[in-house]
Amino acid sequence: MASKMKVDPSVANHGPSERVERIKARFLATTPEICAERAKLITESYQETESLPMSIRRAKALEKILTNMTIFIDDDELIVGNQCSMPRSAPVYPEFSCKWLEGELDRLAKRSADVFLISEEVKKTLSKDVFPYWEGKTNNEYAASLMKPEALEAQNAVVYTVGNYFYNGVGHISANYGKVMREGLDSIIAEAEKAKEKFDFADANQMKSLHFLESTIIANKAVIAFANRFADEAERKAADEKDATRKAELLEIARICRKVPAKPAETFQEAVQSFWFIHLVIQIESNGHSISPMRFDQYCHPFYEASKSALPAEKAQELLDLLWLKFNSLNKVRDEVSTQAFAGYPMFMNIIVGGQDREGKDATNELSLMLLQAAANTKLYAPSLSIRIHEGTPDVLYMKAAEVSRMGLGVPAYFSDRTIIPALLSRGLTLEDARDYGIIGCVEPQVGGKTEGWHDAAFFNMSKVIELTLNNGFDPRTGTQVGLKTGDVSEMKSFDDVMDAYAKQTAYFVGLMCHADNMVDLAHGERVPLPFLSSLVEDCIGRGKSLQEGGAIYNFSGPQGVGVANAGDSLAAIKKLCFDEKALSLPELKVILDKDFEGVENIRQMLINRAPKYGNDDDYADDIAVESANIYCREVNKYRNPRGGVFQPGLYPASANVPFGSVVGATPDGRKKGTPLADGVSPIGGFDISGPTATVNSVAKLDHEVTSNGTLLNQKFHPSAVKGESGLRNLIGVTETYFKNGGFHVQYNVVDRDTLLKAQQAPDDYRSLVVRVAGYSAFFTALDKSLQDDIISRTEQVF
Amino acid sequence: MNWRSKVLDFDKIARPENGLSGLVFDIQKFAVHDGGGIRTLVFLKGCPLHCRWCSNPESLAGKPEIIFVANNCIACGECLKVCGNGAIQQGEPGCEGLTIDRDKCTLCGRCAKYCYAGAINIIGRYLSVAELMAIIERDRKFYEQSNGGVTFSGGEPTAQPEFLKAALCELQERGIHTAIETSSYVPWDTYASILRHVNLVLTDIKHMDDAEHRRLTGVSNQLILDNLRSVSRLGIPMKIRLPLIPGSNDDEANLGRTADFVAGLQSLQSLDILPYHRLGEGKWRQLGVQYALSGLAAHAETEVLKAAGFFSDRGITVGIGG
């Protein structure tokens, strides 16, 4: 950690201003609603453009939305730009999928998590003007038509789910924000105009590129016009404003919105405003989540430097806090089932501070600390804040991060340069690009502005595969033979036989999953290219290709394995008790599992307490968990996507471990039918009884480099364990040791169990309680009860 | 080597015939309140004191013991079947009615082996120094990263002096920081030979009055106080811990005398007040023994702060909660 101190920590000592507190209070008092504006406008646009090429249709649709949607500037705002006609509301994106919404319109306000209000008028607009047009035309329906029936059947059995991109936009990207701040959209338009000269209109394929380039020009011009609408609105409000201070603020907003994002930003406020327009419009163009700003402290720092002499640190902090509130104003409505896997209105917008620069030197600057302070000042769930740790991370940044961790908001998440840079190099990034990585969504690393990472390609239910292995490929829940016939349990004479069958089932389902992903991928390229986003990622303009067709420099698809601990512990119990000790035979075990342990609680206790468990630094269990993960990773590594990239595995769940558990019968780890799986690479809650050091040692045994799409470790600490400066040092000690042992990511929930139980009982008193769910934070009271229980049951490390 | 697998090895409960071994009743990792940094805490079994408030009553006897945790019992009846000595009886229906005749029990461990739910346990395992080192070494990087180490607690660690010395010596040779948490009730010669391998002493003062000390703990405090002065003279860093027990040692006279004594210790780092808690009460029940302080309420926070004032007024660094 030795490094010269180059940052004065006092720049980041400023608490929230009254302005920030006022806007936050308004935000907390607002219940999200559904807004039909975007849906209505895009439907009209599609009806008008049926004769045009798809890329142009997409650009014209964006243009129509940005020209006609309601805009507003709220009291107190300095950074402006809204996503919907009302604050905190969610737009509808019917082109991706909308059948589910049609079916759930009346459930939205009544469901158990992520409630959305919806007016009768909005319901009527959607039912009359939107849904009928999209019948049979959505990207979801097209993608489904491309898939093999077996792939759909396996999804139906929830062996995996490719649901996210199957039903929504892809997102999971970081645009080249820095370039827009520095050069402006005018320069991107100029670039596209110039690129047109390269392509020959007489060549049919190249003509497609010309259409694409034209679409980026339409889209960028529309965004500039959109910013000018805010300038008009600010001027209009300024004319009516009595208060001289506010009037001046509004006129400054107007000046800035006339200038950016079209032209290069010069001041800090201009840079933040330019950033916000880009970030906002990306989320109006598509509903893909995890649009991640990444290294904001790096690309925004020159503007901070330029304004520093004229801008007091507390004003700069206020602008960042206001930006933080803006992040929270973005929203997305998901179907009720997905809401279980992505609970708590998450948008997964990841910002990361610190780490190395492209030359390998420490990159920490004032903004790194001020962004941590913004999280502390706003205490809300967005954005997801992360920190990169390397040998040269200065103590001042590390301690600031530990202090914020101790506040219990679940941020920042810690990432290890030592593991991630080699992992990215192994996937073909240049050294400079690997050093310049940031995090997408929960835990997925990539270099921003150059990558279409498809990081959330699928979730793979490793425990379901255990169940299917023991059932010879038959799924008891759906009553179908979804898997291969790898042999009846009575034919498995050794533990190797069990592992072989598990490996064969895994290989089969990974193949189907990658096929399904690739069909969804093709559909996005053909049906929903995104011209604006594409224009902000290298080298789409140069190649004359949208992101969705392989325009980016780096292309990946990343499906996640879920329930490593359950798969590992199940296999360890089989090895130990059925083969080593012969306490019961495998067929006997299967009968017991089929009956969900009914009448044999003592056998369940034996499975729990007499078989070694992952997470206790016990090589017996840990080695098997590692092997079960490796089997998955080796299969994923075999596949390629249609954008010219490879598949790369991850091991993290969002909150899919809860719904995934609900479809899996009793498992040999002693888990009862339908109960949640362990999250990420964390041990099963309650089984990690040897303390956090043992947990960290166990988890570090996984190969965190091959899982280059990310792994996730949750650790929960009681406040007393991180008390005082020594407590912060201990937190750093755990992080450092995990990373030195090869860990990838770790995050801490510092909140006591009593608080969570009280919040469950009196949710109204705890509306602002933010907890870490998986790779993101959310309001605890907005979560479904089963997920709340899961969070409470994760072992609390208190000594 | 892993502590959990040792605990689950019910076939090896008896003291090994060859070689030096220590009787350990628990090993806790990530201990952050017992000597600085991240530490491994090794609890040795057996104690010459019998403090009425003891929160680790399973640590008192210097031999393995059988305990019954009623909450874990699933009433499967396996223990009744496998006990060859008729030591386990099911009295009234339901698991609370299970009684263990500790005179008949030979500590063979069969009942515990088949009690999968963990309701019956044998507390205490004999470990060699090498086995203990294997467990401790697993967390070496954490000690190095946090300036932590290993702390021996109990029971009374000095009650197994040869094992303790050998383990401490081995740790120092391996460059791991050592601490002991002790009553200091041990003959000075023995204590001195142990202290040669100790970097930090955490030691209790339970009462300044000899008669009261005898009443509360069963032993005189003279040896303890003499030893504390000697530790201070040797210049070994020391933290004094004061278990603050309502109605036993929290009167102003005793707190004042304690503070006066502590103020005279040159090598003192801090005095830590350990407020009384009732977490040990259930363990007494599991051992089949009546708890002497049953029903005693813990101090309010203000009372603890008031007690702390006696020490901070004399310029002593005070911690609360250790």
Rounded to two decimals, the ipTM of the complex is: 0.89
Pair of tokens at residue A339: 């809401």
The pLDDT, as a whole number, for residue A772 is 66
The pLDDT, as a whole number, for residue A774 is 58
Establish if B4 belongs to a structural domain.
no
A659-691 per-position pLDDT tens digit: 999 999 999 999 999 999 988 888 887 788 888
Q: How many helices (H) and strands (E) does chain A have?
A: 35, 18
Q: Which of A442, A514, A540, A633 is catalytic?
A: A442
Q: Which of A605, A693, A720 minimises the CB distance to B29?
A: A693
B115-170 per-position pLDDT tens digit: 999 889 999 999 999 999 999 999 999 999 999 999 999 999 999 999 999 999 99
Q: Quote the mean pLDDT of chain A.
A: 94
- Which chain A residues in 619-638 lie under 8 Å from chain B, judged by CB atoms? 620
Looking at per-residue pLDDT, the higher value among B97 and A566 belongs to A566
Q: Which residues of A133-169 are buried (b: 16+ CB within 10 A; e: fewer)?
A: bbeeebbbebbbebbeebbebbbebbbbbbbbbbbbb
Instruction: Tell me what the mean pLDDT of segment A387-398 comes to.
Output: 97
The pLDDT, as a whole number, for residue B49 is 96
* Contact between residue A368 and residue A397 where contact means Cβ atoms under 8 Å apart: yes
Establish if B280 belongs to a structural domain.
yes
- Residue A575 above 80 pLDDT? yes
- Residue A492 above 80 pLDDT? yes
- Residue A786 above 80 pLDDT? no
| Domain boundary pick from B85, B100, B122 | B122
Question: B245 and B287 share a domain?
Answer: yes
* Contact between residue B152 and residue B167 where contact means Cβ atoms under 8 Å apart: yes
The pLDDT, as a whole number, for residue A438 is 98
Distances (CA, A) of B113 to A11, A632, B119: 61, 36, 11
Helices A724-740 and A395-406 sit at what angle, rounded to 10 degrees? 110
Question: B112 and B228 share a domain?
Answer: no
Q: Which of A444, A452, A467, A635 is catalytic?
A: A444
B76/A737 Cβ within 8 A? no
Question: B169 and B110 share a domain?
Answer: no
The pLDDT, as a whole number, for residue A735 is 96
The pLDDT, as a whole number, for residue B262 is 97
For residue A790, what pLDDT band results from cuts at 50, 70 and 90? confident
Establish if B254 belongs to a structural domain.
yes
Q: What is the pTM of this model?
A: 0.92
- Residue B56 above 80 pLDDT? yes
Question: B207 and B185 share a domain?
Answer: yes
- Chain A hits for B7, CB-CB cut-off 8 Å, are none
A733/B142 Cβ within 8 A? yes
Report the chain A residue with the minimal C-alpha distance to residue B79.
Answer: A602
Instruction: Tell me what the mean pLDDT of segment B252-261 comes to.
Output: 96
**Among A570, A677, A582, which residue's Cα sits nearest to residue A628?**
A570
For residue B90, what pLDDT band results from cuts at 50, 70 and 90? confident
- Residue A798 above 80 pLDDT? no
The pLDDT, as a whole number, for residue A656 is 85
- Residue B92 above 90 pLDDT? no
A179-222 per-position pLDDT tens digit: 999 999 999 999 999 999 999 999 999 999 999 999 999 999 99
**Among A398, A391, A447, A390, which residue's Cα sits nearest to residue A415?**
A390
For residues B122 and A647, what is the distance between their CA atoms, to the nearest angstrom? 51
- Quote the domain boundaries for residue B160: 10-63+124-320
Looking at per-residue pLDDT, the higher value among A785 and A93 belongs to A93
Cross-strand pairs, A459:
A161, A560
Question: B44 and B186 share a domain?
Answer: yes
Question: B181 and B314 share a domain?
Answer: yes
For residue A768, what pLDDT band results from cuts at 50, 70 and 90? low
* Contact between residue A649 and residue A632 where contact means Cβ atoms under 8 Å apart: yes
Q: Which of A610, A689, A730 minimises the CB distance to B146?
A: A730
For residue B1, what pLDDT band results from cuts at 50, 70 and 90? confident
For residue B97, what pLDDT band results from cuts at 50, 70 and 90? low
Establish if B136 belongs to a structural domain.
yes
Looking at per-residue pLDDT, the higher value among A749 and B199 belongs to B199
Instruction: Tell me what the mean pLDDT of segment A600-612 comes to.
Output: 95
Question: B132 and B92 share a domain?
Answer: no
Question: B84 and B193 share a domain?
Answer: no
Strands A160-161 and A350-354: unpaired
Q: Which residues of B268-283 are buried (b: 16+ CB within 10 A; e: fewer)?
A: bbbbbbbbbeeebbeb
The pLDDT, as a whole number, for residue A797 is 47
CA dihedral for B257, B258, B264, B270, sign (positive or negative) = negative
The pLDDT, as a whole number, for residue A799 is 34
Ramachandran category for residue A439: left, alpha or beta (phi over 0 → left; psi -120 to 50 → alpha) = beta
For residue B93, what pLDDT band results from cuts at 50, 70 and 90? low
Strand ranges inside A83-134, DSSP E: none
- Residue A1 above 60 pLDDT? no
Split into its structural domains, chain B has a count of: 2
For residues A86 and A196, what is the distance between their CA atoms, to the nearest angstrom? 39
Q: Amino acid identity of A219?
A: A
Question: B95 and B21 share a domain?
Answer: no
Instruction: Tell me what the mean pLDDT of segment B84-93 comes to.
Output: 81
Give the minimum alpha-carbon distance from A628 to chain B in angstroms, rounded to a whole number: 22
- Residue A326 above 70 pLDDT? yes
For residue A777, what pLDDT band results from cuts at 50, 70 and 90? low
Q: How many CB pairs under 8 A join A and B?
A: 90
The pLDDT, as a whole number, for residue A4 is 46
Question: B238 and B301 share a domain?
Answer: yes
Residue-level length of chain A = 799
B32/A799 Cβ within 8 A? yes
A616/B78 Cβ within 8 A? no
Pair of tokens at residue A468: 């299917």
A602/B117 Cβ within 8 A? yes
* Contact between residue B76 and residue A603 where contact means Cβ atoms under 8 Å apart: no
Establish if B2 belongs to a structural domain.
no
Cross-strand pairs, B66:
B122
Instruction: Tell me what the mean pLDDT of segment B228-236 comes to.
Output: 97
For residue A590, what pLDDT band results from cuts at 50, 70 and 90? very high
- Which chain A residues in 691-750 lie under 8 Å from chain B, judged by CB atoms? 691-694, 697, 720-721, 726-727, 729-730, 732-734, 736-737, 740-741
Pair of tokens at residue A227: 């910013």
For residues B260 and A300, what is the distance between their CA atoms, to the nearest angstrom? 59
Q: Which residues of B140-166 are buried (b: 16+ CB within 10 A; e: fewer)?
A: bbbbbbbebbbbbbbbbbbbbbebbbb
- Residue A610 above 80 pLDDT? yes
For residue B72, what pLDDT band results from cuts at 50, 70 and 90? confident
Establish if B5 belongs to a structural domain.
no
**CATH number of the domain enclosing B90:** 3.30.70.20
For residue A740, what pLDDT band results from cuts at 50, 70 and 90? very high
* Contact between residue A259 and residue A231 where contact means Cβ atoms under 8 Å apart: no
**CATH number of the domain enclosing B250:** 3.20.20.70
B32/A727 Cβ within 8 A? yes
Question: B89 and B137 share a domain?
Answer: no
For residue A342, what pLDDT band results from cuts at 50, 70 and 90? confident
Establish if B1 belongs to a structural domain.
no
A507-530 per-position pLDDT tens digit: 999 999 999 999 999 999 999 999
A5-17 per-position pLDDT tens digit: 478 889 999 999 9
Any catalytic annotation for residue A442?
yes
Question: B88 and B227 share a domain?
Answer: no
* Contact between residue A649 and residue A633 where contact means Cβ atoms under 8 Å apart: yes
| Domain boundary pick from B122, B138, B165 | B122
* Contact between residue A685 and residue A369 where contact means Cβ atoms under 8 Å apart: no
* Contact between residue A648 and residue A711 where contact means Cβ atoms under 8 Å apart: no
* Contact between residue B16 and residue A630 where contact means Cβ atoms under 8 Å apart: no
Q: Report the SS3 class of residue A555.
A: strand
Q: Quote the mean pLDDT of chain B.
A: 92
DSSP 8-state code for residue A173:
B
Establish if B26 belongs to a structural domain.
yes
| Domain boundary pick from B105, B122, B139 | B122
